[in-house]
Amino acid sequence: MVNDEVDFNRLKELLGVTDGNLASHIKALEKNNYIRVYKQFVGRKPKTTYKATRQGKIAFTKHIEALEQLIKNNKP
């Protein structure tokens, strides 16, 4: 989690995914209270930004730790 918050287009660009794919993942993250969604207008254009919740940051940290443990345990 490098960015404090990120908008839809930037996130899509960073991840290299389609609008629909990103939208479905965002919906799941929001449903589990891992992210907050903020919608606003900048001029006449809608802008949606996302920010990880405390719960989301904790879950992400645990996920990374589990992956690191898996790698550590499977080294030859």
Write the pLDDT tens digit of every residue in 14-42: 999 999 999 999 999 999 999 999 999 98
Q: Which domain holds residue 43?
A: 5-73
> How many separate domains does the chain show?
1
Q: What is the pLDDT of residue 75?
A: 76
1 confidence band (pLDDT: 50, 70, 90): low
Is the CA virtual torsion 23, 5, 13, 60 positive or negative?
negative
- Measured distance CA(37)–CA(19) in Å, rounded: 16
Write the pLDDT tens digit of every residue in 36-76: 999 999 899 999 999 999 999 999 999 999 999 999 988 76
- Read off the tokens for 10: 């930037």
Q: What average pLDDT does the segment 1-19 reach?
A: 89
Q: What is the CATH number of the domain that holds 30?
A: 1.10.10.10
pTM listed for this prediction: 0.79
